[in-house]
Structure 1
C-alpha cells in the first residue's frame, strides 16, 4: 500500500540464494516440496562429530568458543531456528499459511557418537533436515547418503526444491556469517533497484 517492497533473502540460508531463486529463476515452475539443511551451527556440529567421533557436548563447547554456536545454543541445537526457516519457506515459496506451531520439531542434542558411527558404517551421515510439503512440515535429524548433495560440511546450507518442470534443483551456500548475510541483503537491494 506504500509502494515499497519487502525482501528477506537473508532470513533463510545466509548466502544461499533460495527465496529469490525460487521466485525469479524458477518462476515458471510449481514447487512441490523443499528439503534442506537450514542451520549452519547444527551442520557444523554434526560434521565435526562425524569426522572426529567426538561427543556432542565437546563439539558444542568448542563451537561456542569459536563463536559458531551461541552462548545459549537452544534455538539452533533444538531445531527451533530451522523450524522458523521452514515456516518462511512454506509461506513464501509454497504459498502456505503456517506458523511455528505447525512444524514438528526435533533437534540434535540427543545424537551420540555411536549413532553417527553406526550411520557412517552403512555409508550415511546424520544431518538436521527441514522438510516442507503439503503433507509435512518437519525438522529432524535424518540419514543422508555420503556423497549426496546433502553431505555438506561446516556451516554450509543446502536445499533441494522439487518442481514440476525442472525436476529437482539444488542450491548450496554458506548459512552463516556477516559477509554472507550482507551479500544476501545486497542481492535484495539490487533486485529492488532493478524493478524500479
Structure 2
C-alpha cells in the first residue's frame, strides 16, 4: 500500500477531532512512519462530502462549524461508491441494534476494507459476526478507542503482553461515574447535587443514563472480555448495577473503614459484571476525578495496571490514530 485512502462515517466530536489530528500531523506521520493518506470521504447525519483526490480537511471542518454539516455535492448514496482502504467509524453508540454503525462496519469488512471504530454498540452486540467477517475477508478490525479513551488496554494485551495468559480484567472505565463518586465522598454531597454539577461542567451528558446505570462500563467490559479473554459474550450477558442508589451514608461508612466506593467492571471467562464496590483507599483502583484505570491479571507478568483519561475527543482520537498507524505498519 503506497497511500491510504480513508473514509470517516460519523462526523461529530470524535470524527472531527480525528480529521483535525490527521491534518495537523500529516507531515509527522509521513516522516516518522512513511504514512501517506487522503481523506476521500466524510459522512455526517445530513449528508456526505466526497473526493477521489482527497478532501481539504481544513475547509471541511470550517464548513461543519459554520453550517452544521459537511454536505457539499451529491447525496448519501454516493458514499457507497467511493473507493477507500480504511473506514473510521464514529457514529453514536446504539445498544438496541448497533445501527447504523453495525452495517457500516460489516459492509466495509465484507469488501475487504480495514476498519477502526470508536462505536461500542456493534462490538458489544455482534462481536462474533464482526470478528468472523473480518477474518474471512482478510480485513483488520481495530477498536482501542471503544474501551478506555487514550488508555491502551487492547494494544497492551495484544502486543506488550502477547506472551501472557490473561485471566481477568478489573477496572474503572467511566469517568462520569468516577467523578460523581469522588465528589460525593470528598464533600459529603448527595448524588443529585453532584450529577447536576457534572452536567454543568460538561462531564455528564444531559441524559446520563448510559453512564450512571453502568451501561457504558458494561459495553466496554464485553468488548474487553471478548477481545482479550475470548469470552464470546454479548451485552445481554452482563450483570449490571449502577451508582444511582449510592448515598452519602454508604460513602461515610466506607470512609470509616478507610475505603471508598467505585463503579467497577470485572471480567473473566466465566462472568462479566458491573457494580459499585468498596475499594481500599491505598489500592491502585482508588483513582479520583474522571480518571479511568484497568488492571490485567497475567500468568507471567502478574498484575499490570494502566491509567489515564478515559474520555474526551482528543483522547479518543489518540487511540483511533494509534490503530491507524498500526494498520499502516501491518499492511506495509
Q: Output the TM-score relative to the length of structure 1.
A: 0.97
Measure how far apart 1:4 and its partner are: 3.2
| Cα distance in 2, alignment partners of residues 147 and 195 from structure 1 | 41
Secondary structure in 1 aligned to 2:164?
coil
Kept in 2: contact 1:17–1:173 (CA 8 A): no
Counterpart Cα distance in 1 of 2:219 and 2:311 = 15
1:13 to 148, 151, 173: 148
Structure 2 contact 225–269 (Cα < 8 Å) conserved: no
Match of 1:170 among 302, 305, 322: 305
Alignment match of 2:239 (pick from 104, 114, 117): 104
Q: CA deviation at 1:65?
A: 1.0
For residues 9-63 of structure 1, what are the alpha-carbon distances to aligned partners after superposition, in whole Å with 9 as ceiling and x for unaligned? 0100101110111111111111000001011110011111111110000000111
Which of 179, 187, 210 is the matching residue for 1:75? 210
Residue 57 of structure 1 corresponds to which residue in structure 2?
A: 192
Residue 132 (structure 1) aligned with residue 267 (structure 2): yes
Rounded Cα–Cα distance in structure 2 between residues aligned with 1:100 and 1:70: 21
Residue 12 of structure 1 aligns to a residue whose secondary structure is helix
Who is 1:30 aligned against? Answer: 165
Contact 2:230 2:269 in 1 (8 A): no
Look at both structures and tell me which one has the larger radius of gyration over its CA atoms: 2
How many residues of Structure 1 are paired with residues of Structure 2 in the alignment?
Answer: 196
2:287 counterpart of 1:152: yes
Q: 1:134 deviation in Å?
A: 2.4
**What's the TM-score once normalised by structure 2's chain length?**
0.58
Cα RMSD, aligned residues only: 1.0
Deviation at 1:136, TM superposition (A): 2.2
Which runs of 5 or more structure 2 residues have no equivalent in the other structure? 1-109, 113-137
- Structure with the larger helix share: 2
Q: Quick one: higher RCO (CA 8 Å, sep 6+), 1 or 2?
A: 1
| Structure 1 moving runs of 4+ over 2 Å | none
Q: Deviations over 1:68-89 (max 9, x none)?
A: 1111111100001100111101
